[in-house]
Structure 1
Amino acid sequence: MIPELGHFCLAMAVALACAQGVVGIAGPTLKDPRALTAAPLLTLLHFTAISLSFLALVWAGVVSDFTVENIADFSSAQTPLLYRITGIWGNHDGSILLWCLILSLCGAAVAVGGKRLPASLRSRVLGVLGLISCGFLLFTLAVSDPFTRIWPPPLNGAGMNPILQDPGLAFHPPVLYTGYVGFSVAFAFAIAALIEGRIDAAWGRWVRPWALISWCFLTGGITLGSWWSYYTLGWGGFWFWDPVENAALLPWLTGTALLHCAIVVEKRESLKAWTVLLAIATFSLSLSGTFLVRSGILNSVHSFAEAPNQGLFILGLLGITICGSLLLFAVRAPILAGSGIYAPISRESALILNNIFLCAIAAVVFTGTLYPPFVNLLFGIQLSVGAPFFNQTVLPLTSPIILAMGVGPLLRWKRADLYPVMQRLWLAAAIAALVFIILTATKHIIAALGLAGGAWVVMAAFTDLAERVRLFRVPFGQSLQRLFTLPRAAIGAAMGHIGFGVSVIGIAAMTLATQKVIVLKPGQSTELGGYTWTLKDIHDAPGPNYQRRVADVVLSDNGHAFLTLHPSRRFFTAQHVITNDAAIHTNGFQDLYAVFASEQDGGAELRLNRHPGAPEIWFGGLIMAMGGFFSLSDRRLRVGAPFRKRVPGGATV
C-alpha cells in the first residue's frame, strides 16, 4: 500500500509542477496579487508531494519490500540498513527521483527565502523551475517508474552493487546532485530576467548566492567522488579523466565562471550577456551529464546501463531547454548591453581573462569527451581520448588562470596600476620562484611548475588578506580587529583561492608518487619510497554480507617497524563479486597506500604506493567549499538586493 501511495504522490507532483510552471510564468501578466502568491504555494505543495513519494520508496527499501522491482533488483535482506537507504539513489530510477526531490527543494527554498525578491520575478523563477521539474517527473512516470510492482516477488533481492556499499558513495550522489540541480535556480533567474527584460546590478546580487551555494555543493560532490574512487576502487589515483568525471567537471568550470561574472554584474553592471549565457550553459551541461550517464553513449564505471528510450527522453528535455533558452536569449539580446567602462588593467579585465580560460578548458574537455562516441556513432570508428590528451591541453590553459588568481583580487575596479600590485606580491613571487628553482634541480619540471603555481595562489590570497587588515603597517591588535570586521564574502573568496592553490599543490606533488606491483609470500619484503614493505600474513576475516581475505603488510624505516596496513579482498556471496579494499595511512602530507590485488601460489599480489601531497587534493576541495559557505554567511549575500523605497513626494531612496 505504501508504494502505491508513493506512486500517487508522484503523479500528484506532476500536476502541481505543471500548475506551478503555468501560473508562475503567466501570473505576473494577469496583474492579480492572488496569481503572484499562488506560485509559492504550489511550489511548497509540489515539494511536499515529491517528499512523500521519496519517503515511500525509502520505506520500501528499509523493510525490503521485494514486490517493488527497484528494491528487488538493488537491495537484499542481508544488505546493511545504511545501504538499504542509500541504495535508493544507487540505481537509475531512484536517482532520478532524488534529482526531482532536490529540484523541488530548490524551488521551495526560493519560495521561502526569496520573499525580498520582486513578486513578479520570484513568480517567474518558480514557474521556470516548475516546468523543468514537470519534465523530469514525466520522465520518471513514463520510462523510469521506481514503484513498478513484480509478482511473485523473489525470496531475497539481488543486492546492491558491492562497489557502492561505501559511506563515501552514500553521501557523494546527494551532494553532487544538489550542485547539479542547484544551478537550475541560476538558470531560472536568467530566463525570468530575460522574460521581464530586466538584468541589472540588483539581479546580479540576487542570482549570486544561488550560484554560490550550487557551486559549493558541486565542489564538495566532486571532491567526495574523487576521494571515494581513490580509496575504494584501488586504482591509486584521484582523477582519471573518465567521461563521467568530465561530465561533472564541465558545469563546475562554467559555474565558476558564472560566479565571477555575477560579481561583475553586481559591481559594474557589465558582462550581462556573458552572465546569462553562462547560467544557461551551466545548467545545460548539468543536463548533458545526466543524458550521457543514462543513455549508454559513454562507457564508464559510473554509467547506468539503461534502455535507449531513457536517453532519448532526456535528450528531448535537453534539446527543449537549450534551444528554447538560446532563442529567448537571442530575442532579448538588445537589453543585455553592459553599461560599465573599464581599462584593460583592472579587476574586471582579470575576471574576464579568468572566465575566458575557464570556458576554453570546458570546451577542450567537452570536445575530448564527446568526440570519440560521436565519431563511433557517425562512422563506426573506435577512438579513445585519454589522460595524455587532457593533460597536454588543459595544463597550459590552467597556467594563465593561476597567474590571474594571484593578481586579480589586488587590482582595483575600473582602472588599476599593475606595478604597485606586483610590489605587494613580491613575497608570493619569491616563494613561488624558490619552490620552482629547488624542484627544477631535481629535474621534476612539471611538479616544479605545479607546486610553484599552487604556492603563488596561496601566498597571493594571504597577501590580499594582509593588505586588507594592513598587517605590519598598524599594531597587530588593530590588524586583528580589522580582520574580524572584514566582509565575510572577502574572506570566503580568499579561502576559495587558498583551497584551489592547496589542491594544485597536491596534484603537482602526486606526480612524484612512486609505485610498485609485486608478488610477495609471507615473510618476504620489498623496498619502495624509502621504506621496507613486508608481507607478514594472509588470513580470513568476516564481514556483514561478505567474506574477507586480509593481507597484513608491515612497513619499516631503517629496520624499525612503525606501521601495519591491512588491505583486503571482499567476496560478496549474493552477487558473487570480489572487490578490493585499499589500506591507506596518511599523516596529512603523504599517503602510504596498499592494495591486495590477488592471491598467487600462497602469496599476494600487492600494489604498493607512496603518494606525497595526496591529502592536499581533498583538503583543498574542502577549503574551497568551506570558503563558499563562509561567503554565504555574509548578510549582504543572504539578504540580497534591497527594495528601493519611495518616500512622500515621489523621491526614491
Structure 2
Amino acid sequence: MITELGHFALILAFLVAAVQAVVPLVGAQKRWPGWMAVAEPAATAQFFLTAVSFAALTYAFVVSDFSLRLVVLNSHSAKPMLYKITGVWGNHEGSMLLWVLIVTLFGASVAWFGGNLPPGLKARVLSVQAMIGVAFFAFILFTSNPFLRMSVPPFDGQDLNPLLQDPGLAFHPPFLYLGYVGLSMTFSFAIAALIEGRVDAAWGRWVRPYTLAAWMFLTVGIGLGSWWAYYELGWGGFWFWDPVENASFMPWLIAAALLHSAVVVEKRESLKSWTILLAIIAFGFSMVGAFITRSGIITSVHAFATDPERGMFLLLILAVFMLGGLTMFAARANAMQAKGVFAPVSREGVLVINNILLGVSAFVVFVGTIWPLVSEMAFDRKLSVGAPFFNMAFTPFMVLLGLILPVGAMLPWKRANLRRVVKPLRGAFILSLAIGALAFAMQTGRSALGPVGLFLAAWLISGALVDLWSRTARAENRFARLRRLPRADWGKAMAHGGLGVTIAGIAAMMAWEAEDIRVVQVGESFEVAGFTLTLDEVRRLEGPNYDATQGIVTLAKDGQEISTMYPEKRVYPVAKMPTTEAALDNGFLRDVYVVIGDPQNNGGWAMRTYYKPLANWIWGGAILMAIGGLLSLSDRRYRVAAGARRAVPGGVPAE
C-alpha cells in the first residue's frame, strides 16, 4: 500500500510540475498576477509530493519489501540498517528519484525564501525549474520507475554492491547531487533573465547564493568520493581521473568561475553575458555527468546503469536544455550590455583571468574524458587517456590560478596600483619561497613538484591571511575589527586558504610518498620510510553480511610502538564479491597505509604498505573550502533584499 502511495505521489508531482512549467510563465508574459501566483504553491506541492514518494521507497528498503524489484536487486535482509537506507540511492532508479527530489527542493526554496524577487522574475525562474523537473519526472516514470513490482517476490534480495557499503560513499551521492542539481537553479535564473532581457546587480546578488551552495555541496561530495577511493579501493590513490570523477570535477570548476563572475555582475554590472553563459554551461556539465554515469558508455564502479535507452533519453534532455539555452543566449546576448568599465589591472581584470583559467581547465578535463569515446566511435581506435595527460595539461593552469589568487583578492575594483597592492604581500611571498626552497633542499634527486606545490600552498594560505589583516588597516583595534569583518570576507579567505591546504597535500603525496610491496610471514618485521611494521597474526572474521581475513599489524618507530593496525580482505557471499579494507594510521603530517592480500604458496601473505605525507591535508583543505562557502552563504547580505532592479534599455520594465 505504501509503495503504491509513493508511485501515485510521483505521478501527481509530474502533473503539478507540468502545470508549474506553463501557467506562471504565461502569467509573467501576460502580466496576470493570478497566473504568476500559481508558481509558489505548485513548487511547494511538487516538493512535498516527491518527498512522499522518496519516503515510500525508503520505507520499502528499511522493511526489506522484496515485492519491489528495486529492493530485490539492491538490498538483503542481513544488510546493516545504514546500508539499507543508503541503498535507496545506491542504484540508478533510486538515485534519480533523489535527483528529482533535490530539483524540487531547490524550486521550493525559491518559493519559500525568494520574497525579495520581483513577481515576474520569480514566476519565470520557477517555471524554468519546473521544466527541468518535468524532464526528469518523465525520465523516471517512463524509463527508470523505482516502484516496479515482482510477480513472484523472492525470499531475499541480491544485496547492494559491497563497494557501496561504506559510510564515505553512503553520503557521497546526496552531497554530489545537491551540487549538480543546485546548478539547475542558476540555469533557471539565467534563462529567466534572458526571457526578460535584463541582468543587473540585483540579479547577480540573487543568483550568487545558489551558485555558492552548489559549489559548496560539490566540494563536499567530491571530497567524500576521493576519501572513499583512498581508503576503500586499496590502491592508495585519492584521484584516478576516472571519467565519472571528472564528470563531477568539471561542474565544480565552472561553478567556481560562475561564482567569481557573478561577483563582478553584482559589484560592477560587468561580464553579464559571460556570467549567463557560464550558468548555462555549468548545468550542462552537470547533465553530462548524469549522462556518463547512466548511459552505459563507460564501465566504472561509479556508474549506475548500462541501458542505452536511458542514455538516449538523458542525451535528449541535455540537448533540449543546452540547445534551447544557448539559442536563447545568442538571441538575447545584445541586451546584456555591460555598464562598468575597468582597467586591466583591477579586481575585475583578475577575475576575468580567473574565469579563463578555470574555463580552460574544465575544457582540458572534458577533452581528456570524452576523447577516448570520440576516438572509438569516429576512428574505431581504442585509446586510454590517463593521469599523465591530465597532470601535464591541467596542472599549469592551476599553478597560474594559485599565483594570481592572493593578489587578485586584494586588488580594488575598477583600477588599481599593482605596486601598492603587492607591497603587503612581500612577506607572504618571501615566506612561501623559503618553504619551497627548504623542501627542495631536503629532497634528493626528486621532482620539483613537491617544492613548487608547497610554495604555492604557502602563498595561498599566507596571502589569504594578509588579505584579512589588510582589511583592518584603518581600525584603531585591528583584532576587534577582524572579528567584525563580514562573513563573506572570512569565507573567501578560508576557501582560498583551504585550496592551499589541499594543494600542499596533493603535492606532498605525489612527490614524497613511499610504497612497499612484499610477501610477509606471520611474525616477520620490515621497514618502510623509517617505520617498523610487524605482521603479528592473520585471522578469520565473520561480519554481519561478509567473511573477512584480517591481519594484525604492529606499527612502531624508533623502537616505540605507535599503534596496532587491522587491514582486512572481505568477501560478501550474497554478491560473491571481494573488497579491500585498508588499515590507516592517521597523523597530522603523514598516513601509514597497510593492505593485506592473498595467502602465498610459501605460507606468507601479500602486503602493500604506503607512507603518505600530508595525506589528510587533501580532505582537510576540502573541508575548509566547504566551511568557507558556508560562511559566505551565511553572510547577512544574502538574507536581505538585493534592492531595486534598474531597467536596461530595450528590456522589459520591472514588474
- TM bucket (normalised to shorter chain) is over 0.9
Q: 1:24, 1:128 within 8 Å by CA — same for their partners in 2? A: no
Distance 1:291 1:639 in 2: 38
Question: What's the CA shift for 1:642?
Answer: 2.5
Q: Aligned residue for 2:537? A: 537
Q: 1:25, 1:124 within 8 Å by CA — same for their partners in 2? A: yes
Distance 1:492 1:527 in 2: 43
Q: Give, as a single letter, the amino acid of the residue that structure 1 aligns with 2:403.
A: L
Is 2:449 aligned against 1:446? yes
Q: 1:116, 1:643 within 8 Å by CA — same for their partners in 2? A: no
Aligned residue runs from structure 1 range 227-626, under 5 A: 227-441=227-441, 442=443, 443-470=446-473, 478-511=477-510, 512-601=512-601, 602-626=603-627
Q: Which piece of structure 1 moves more, 362-371 or 586-595?
A: 586-595
Q: Which piece of structure 1 moves more, 348-357 or 291-300?
A: 291-300
Distance 2:645 2:319 in 1: 39
Distance 1:215 1:568 in 2: 35
Q: Aligned residue for 1:649? A: none
Q: Give, as a single letter, the amino acid of the residue that structure 2 aligns with 1:495.
A: M
Question: What's the CA shift for 1:208?
Answer: 0.6
Q: Which piece of structure 1 moves more, 330-339 or 136-145?
A: 330-339
Question: What's the CA shift for 1:9?
Answer: 0.9
Distance 2:167 2:301 in 1: 18
Q: 2:10, 2:53 within 8 Å by CA — same for their partners in 1? A: yes
Q: Give, as a single letter, the amino acid of the residue that structure 1 aligns with 2:395.
A: L
Question: What's the CA shift for 1:366?
Answer: 0.3
Question: What's the CA shift for 1:374?
Answer: 1.4
Secondary structure of the structure 1 residue equivalent to 2:122:
helix
Q: Which piece of structure 1 moves more, 271-280 or 442-451?
A: 442-451
Question: What's the CA shift for 1:474?
Answer: 6.3
RMSD: 1.3
1:46-66 deviations in whole A, cap 9, x for unaligned?
A: 111111111111111111111
Q: 1:439, 1:445 within 8 Å by CA — same for their partners in 2? A: no
Question: What's the CA shift for 1:298?
Answer: 2.0
1:548-597 deviations in whole A, cap 9, x for unaligned?
A: 21101111212232221110111212112111111111122211111112
Question: What's the CA shift for 1:266?
Answer: 0.4
Q: Give, as a single letter, the amino acid of the residue that structure 2 aligns with 1:621.
A: A
Distance 1:259 1:522 in 2: 55
Q: Aligned residue for 1:635? A: 636
Is 2:81 aligned against 1:81? yes
1:232-268 deviations in whole A, cap 9, x for unaligned?
A: 1111011111110001000000000000000000000
Gaps of 5+ in 2: 647-653
Q: Aligned residue for 2:124? A: 124
Count of residues paired in the alignment: 642
Distance 2:50 2:163 in 1: 28
Is 2:111 aligned against 1:111? yes
Q: Aligned residue for 1:648? A: none
Q: 2:28, 2:123 within 8 Å by CA — same for their partners in 1? A: yes
1:98-153 deviations in whole A, cap 9, x for unaligned?
A: 00001100000011010110011011000000000000000001010000111211
Distance 1:298 1:573 in 2: 27
Distance 1:627 1:124 in 2: 31
Q: Which piece of structure 1 moves more, 141-150 or 557-566?
A: 557-566
Secondary structure of the structure 2 residue equivalent to 1:639:
coil
Gaps of 5+ in 1: 646-651
Distance 2:401 2:226 in 1: 22
Change (3 A) 1:427 1:166: same
Q: 1:209, 1:638 within 8 Å by CA — same for their partners in 2? A: no
Question: What's the CA shift for 1:363?
Answer: 0.7
Secondary structure of the structure 2 residue equivalent to 1:422:
helix
Identity, % of aligned positions: 47
Q: Which piece of structure 1 moves more, 592-601 or 6-15?
A: 592-601
Distance 1:560 1:11 in 2: 64
Question: What's the CA shift for 1:33?
Answer: 1.8
1:203-230 deviations in whole A, cap 9, x for unaligned?
A: 1011011110111101111011111111
Q: 1:205, 1:640 within 8 Å by CA — same for their partners in 2? A: no
Question: What's the CA shift for 1:296?
Answer: 1.2
Question: What's the CA shift for 1:379?
Answer: 2.2
Q: Give, as a single letter, the amino acid of the residue that structure 1 aligns with 2:615.
A: A
Question: What's the CA shift for 1:634?
Answer: 0.8
Distance 1:194 1:159 in 2: 48
Q: Give, as a single letter, the amino acid of the residue that structure 1 aligns with 2:557.
A: D
Distance 1:9 1:69 in 2: 19
Distance 2:628 2:373 in 1: 37
Distance 1:535 1:644 in 2: 69
